[in-house]
Amino acid sequence: MKSRWDQCELDRVTADYAKAGVSADLAIRTYTTRILGQEPLLVLHGGGNTSVKTTMTDALGDEYEVLCVKGSGWDMGSIEPAGLPAVQLQPLAALARKEALSDEDLVAAQRRMLLDPYAPNPSIEAVLHAIIPHKHVDHTHANAIISLTNQPDGEAIIRELFPDTTIVPYVMPGFVLAQEVRRILDETPDAKHLILINHGIFTFNDDPRQSYDDMIAMCDAAEQRLARGNPRPFKGASLPGGAALAEIAPIVRGALARETEIEGRPDRWVLDFRTSGQIRHFVDGENVGDYAMRGNAAPDHSIRIKRFGMVTSPAGCDDFAENLKAAVAAFADEYIAYYQRQNARAGGGFKQLDPVPRIVYVPGLGLFGVGKTAKEASICADIAEATVDVITKAEGIGRFVTLSEDDLFDIEYWSLEQAKLAKAVEKPLNRQVAIVTGGASGLGRETAAMLRKEGAEVALFDIDSDAVARVAEEIGAMPVVCDVTDPSAVDAAVAKVVEAFGGVDILVSNAGAAFQGRMLEVDDAYFQKAFALNYWSHHYMARACVTVMRAQGTGGALVFNVTKQVLNPGPDFGPYGTSKSALMALVRQYAIEHGADGITANAVNADRIRTGLLTDAFVAERARARGVSSDEYMRGNLIRREVTGTDVAEAFLHLAKARKTSGAILTVDGGNVAAMVR
C-alpha cells in the first residue's frame, strides 16, 4: 500500500483553512482524514473514523480541551472541518468507566458535550478515541487486516506478523467496545496500536504523520503477508456460454421486485453491476455457494448488505429466469427464519427489514449491488467488491470465517441504525429508472429535472453531446448521446441505461421538431425526415424500452409528446401535423398491445410553450400577424394564462406516475376549444 501523504498539499490546505479561521490541528486532521478515506482498501462508506485532541473556545469564549472526531454522515474522503465536531474531552473519556450505558444514552451524552449544539452526532466510537492517550487517532477497516483476522487462527497470524501490537477481541461497537479497550489500555498503557479481531485497526500518535505512516506500513505488511498466499484459490466451475449484461440485468431486477400490500405496487430496485478478473474468479468458482454466503468481511457491512449476498445459477443457462425466482424466494424465506429466531433471542421488539438481497452474485457474469437508489446500489456494490477481495485473499492463506449469526444480527438490527431507518423517507419515484429523449433542452430538460427531483434515476438522450453532458451534470442525470432516428443507436443507448441501472420503468419520448410546409410543396425527403423524428424515433424508443419492461415483468409507463396539430391541424404544418397524428395512433396501439403487461401509454398535448421550437422571435412574428402583443398571444386561451414548460413537465410527471390511466391525451394549453378531445 502506497502513502498518499503530500507535504505541499498539506501546507496548502492548512494555509487555506487558516484564512477561514480553522486551527492548524483541525486543518491537519481534515487533510489526514481525507487521504485515509480516499483509499478504498482502507475505508468504505462510513467504515472508519479519525480524531484529534486539541483546545477550542465555545460561543461564550470559554476554552475547553476537546476531541474533534468524525461526525455521523460525513464521508472521510471528502470531509470538511465541520465534519469533525468538537466534544469536551474529559467528560467524554470519563464515560468509559461507567458500568453500563445504552447506545441511545451514549449518543445523548455525547451531544450534551458538543461545543456546537448544531454539529452532527460524533462517531459512536468517540469514547474509544477519547481514552487513547495520543493526540491523533486513526481507525480503518482495512481489507488486508480483516483478511488476516477473519481466519480460524487469525489472532495467531496477527501476533506473528505484528508482535508489538495490542489485540482486541471482537465486541459490539459502541460503549461495550470502549469499555473493553479501556480495560486493555489499563493493563497495557504503552500500547502502540490496536488490531480489533473481525473489525479493523487503530493507529495513534502525537505526530499525525507518524500515526498515518503506521497505518500504511501495517496495512502494507498485511498485504505482503497475503501476497504469499494463492491469488486464485477457487476451483472454477464448468459454466455454459455467457449472456449479455443488458439481457440479464432486467431479469435480475424483475426477480427482486416483490408485490407490496399497497395495490400490488411492484417494489422495484436499482442495480449497479461490477465485474473484474478477481470478481469473475470469485463468482465462477465451483463452491461459490459456500464461501460467498459465510458472512461479511466487516461487521458494519451487515447494515448495508445484510449477512451475505445471493448466488444465482450461471448467466448462460436456459432456465436462468426460473432458477432466479426460486433463489430470491429461498433467500427471502431464509432471511425471515433468521429474523424470527434472532428476534426471539434478542428479546423481541425488532421490526423485520425487507428480505431482499443487496448483493447478487451471477456466475459467468459478475455481481450486482442492489439499492433503492443508484447511490445506495453503488455503495452495496463497493462493499461487495471489498467482500470479494477480503474473502479471496483470506482463502488464499487459509479459510475465511466471520462473526456468528448472533453478532451479525446485533449489528444489522442495531437500535441506532433502526432509528435512522425509521426517519428515512422515500421520494415518490425512488427505485424507478426514467429515460427522457430530447433531454438537453426545453420540455425534455424541464421534465428530466422534475423526474430527478421526485427521486427517479434519469438518463438524458440527446444528439447534442455537449449540451446533454452539461444538463446531465446540472440535474444529476446520466448523459446518453443518441440519434433517436437510428434504430440500432436507440437499441445500444437503451442497453447502456440497462447496464447502468438494471432496467427501465419510464420513457418520456419527447424528441421532435415542427417541420413546416404545405403538402404539395414539401419534397419527399423532407417529409420522410419529419416522420423519422416525429414518428419512427418514438416507435424505436418505445420498442426498446417495452422489451426491457417485459423482461422485468413489473410494468412501466410510456409518455409521448404529441401536439395540438393532432386535434386541431393548421395550414403550413403538414409534415408536422401528419407525423404527430401517426404518433398519436402509435400511442394508442402500445396502450392496447401492452396493457396486459402492466405498461401504460399516454400522451401530452401542449400548445404555445416557449421552447427551442417556439422562440421569442417566432412568438413576436405570430403576435404581429394577429395584431396583438407577444404577451397577449401567449395568453390566448380560455383562462388567459401563459402555459410554461414547468406546466407541461408536471403533466409528463403525472402520466409517468398514473398506474390506472392508459391511451389518454392530457392537454396542457390553457383551454383551446378547437383542440379539445371529442
Contact 644, 610 (CB under 8 A): yes
Q: What angle do CA 13, 17, 18 make, to 5 degrees?
A: 115
Contact 209, 136 (CB under 8 A): no
Kindly state the DSSP code that residue 83 receives in the 8-state scheme: G
C-alpha cell at 677: 378531445
Question: Within a 10 A sphere around the Cβ of 598, how many other Cβ atoms?
Answer: 18
576 catalytic per annotation: yes
| Nearest alpha-carbon partner for 451 in 437, 468, 465, 470 | 437
Helix (H, G, I), strand (E, B) or coil at 234: coil
Handedness of CA 584, 665, 598, 649 (dihedral sign): positive
C-alpha cell at 397: 492463506
Phi and psi at 612, nearest 5°, equal -65, -25
Helix (H, G, I), strand (E, B) or coil at 562: strand
The distance from CA 671 to its chain's CA centroid, rounded to whole angstroms, is: 42
Residue 506 β-bridge partners? 434, 557
Question: Within a 10 A sphere around the Cβ of 19, how many other Cβ atoms?
Answer: 7
Phi and psi at 667, nearest 5°, equal -90, 130
The rounded distance, in Å, linking the Cα atoms of 656 and 454 is: 11
| Nearest alpha-carbon partner for 103 in 124, 87, 72 | 124
The rounded distance, in Å, linking the Cα atoms of 92 and 479 is: 49
**Measured CA distances, 277 to 44, 280, 383 (Å):** 21, 5, 17
User: 110-146: buried (b, 16+ CB within 10 Å) or exposed (e) per residue?
Assistant: beebbbeeebbbbbbbbbbbbbbebbbbbbbbbbbbb
Residue 237 CB-density burial (10 A; 0-12 exposed, 13-18 middle, 19+ buried): middle
Kindly state the DSSP code that residue 384 receives in the 8-state scheme: H
Contact 428, 373 (CB under 8 A): no
| Nearest alpha-carbon partner for 192 in 219, 220, 162 | 162
Please pick, among 291, 361, 540, 576, the residue that the annotation labels catalytic: 576
C-alpha cell at 32: 489526514
Active site positions, annotated: 576
